[in-house]
Structure 1
Amino acid sequence: MIKFQGTEYQCSMELTLDLIGGKWKALILWHLGENTLRFSELKKTLPQITQKMLTQQLRDLESHGLVHRFIHTQIPPKVEYSLTDAGKSLLPILSTLCQWGLNYANDTELTENQVNLTCI
């Protein structure tokens, strides 16, 4: 049993999936990678995510210490997002998942037009 931020998890996999699971979190982490992006720049990399969902996911990732939000004190306000060290430690894992997806797609005989190679 693992207790983390007031939640009990049966195993570390359950905790990990809670932190980075879902449709958007891993993609957000991947697109931030080694980059610092403004909200609008990040939104452009994920055109199907709503503004509300992106905001929620970024707040969740920030609250778990995976994403850093930096607010520039200027007018108009400028907010940038980047990965924390903990977030950066996920990049090799996300890269492996990306490679696995490509291999799986190739192994299941999807045509090259159906495979998005942008995550390599």
Structure 2
Amino acid sequence: MKIRDDYTCPLEIVHDIIKGKWKTIILFQLKDGRVQLSKLERDIVGISQKMLLQQLKELQEFGLVEKQVSTGYPLHVEYFLTEGQGRKILEAITIMQEIGIDYMVSHGMTDFLDKKGICYKAEDTHK
């Protein structure tokens, strides 16, 4: 992905870096540390391997994700957040996740949260 030359706000750059259906989900999946490509494919419902690899490549180019390839058979590839910008953007994505949970709880969408095993507190939502 190419970054534009002209911006009116630094937030536009961040938007360009993480925009799209999959990038924030991929970054959130990496929150607990190193993850194998096959696990990302299983855990992100609806993403193709081609799209996943493309998005991971772009996240690497922007310095948010790194990968480690271990030689041998079978090939072992793990992806993880960078200590700097990767971990920093995770803080923002975690807040976005919490806002999404609050919205779902306040709109009676807790069946989905329960099905996914996502923890929430009904009393924490705005009434």
Tell me if TM exceeds 0.5: yes
- Offset at 1:113? 0.8
User: What residue is the counterpart of 1:118 in the other structure?
Assistant: 118
Aligned partner of residue 8 in structure 1, secondary structure: coil
Q: TM-score, normalised by structure 2?
A: 0.80
After alignment, is 71-80 or 28-37 more displaced?
A: 71-80
After alignment, is 60-69 or 76-85 more displaced?
A: 76-85
CA contact (8 A) 1:67 1:82 kept: yes
Aligned partner of residue 89 in structure 1, secondary structure: helix
- Offset at 1:106? 2.5
Deviations 1:55-107 (A, max 9, x none): 10000000111000111122332111000021111122111111111112223
CA contact (8 A) 1:34 1:88 kept: no
Q: Distance in 2 between matches of 1:8 and 1:34?
A: 35
User: What residue is the counterpart of 1:91 in the other structure?
Assistant: 90
Identity %: 33
Structure 2 CA distance for partners of 1:27 and 1:48, relative to 1, 3 Å: same
* Counterpart among 56, 65, 68 of residue 67 in structure 1: 65
Q: TM-score, normalised by structure 1?
A: 0.85
AA at the equivalent of 2:20: G
- Offset at 1:20? 1.3
| RMSD across aligned positions (CA) | 2.1
- Offset at 1:114? 3.5
Deviations 1:17-39 (A, max 9, x none): 11112110000000001320111
User: What residue is the counterpart of 2:75 in the other structure?
Assistant: 77
Identify unmatched segments of 5+ residues in structure 2.
121-127
- Corresponding residue pairs, total: 116
Q: Distance in 1 between matches of 2:90 and 2:73?
A: 33
Q: Distance in 2 between matches of 1:47 and 1:66?
A: 22
- Offset at 1:5? 5.9
Whichever structure has more strand as a proportion of its residues is 1
